[in-house]
Amino acid sequence: MKFVMKKEKRSEDRVKKNILVYIENGGYELLGVSSNLSSYGLFIESPYSLDAQTMVILTLATPPGAIEIEGKVCWVKYPEDKLPLHIQPGMGIQITRAPEEYRRYIDTLRHPVSSHYAAVS
């Protein structure tokens, strides 16, 4: 029997971090919580979701202050999907635009010793 490894599409490992996320899309407003994030994407746990390919504006409530980024919903795990108990419904977001402040924040989560964010997160 031959086993095939699924190739990971991510170009960067995610950091596990729970951050409150405000999600906007032309009239729709949702709240969620990140469970993991990187410079290129994040997963937002939420019982509510938007369709795949939807463009969104996200405001992340980070310890140093709110950071706004833009992204695209790439995939969705719906509450009605029969998910294992440890997997929450939500949306996988690809980041399409982020300020340098967001990239610095991700770096501080990866290397907390050298960060002024580490003391407040």
Average pLDDT, the chain: 84
Q: Which domains does the chain have, with CATH numbers?
A: 15-114 (2.40.10.220)
pLDDT band at 61 (very low <50, low <70, confident <90, very high): very high
Q: Is 49 a residue whose pLDDT tops 50?
A: yes
Task: Report the run of H or E that residue 37 belongs to, with start and end.
Answer: strand 28-37
pLDDT at 90: 93
pLDDT at 11: 59
19 DSSP assignment = -
Dihedral (C-alpha) 104, 112, 70, 97: value to the nearest 10 degrees? Answer: 30
- SS3 at position 104: helix
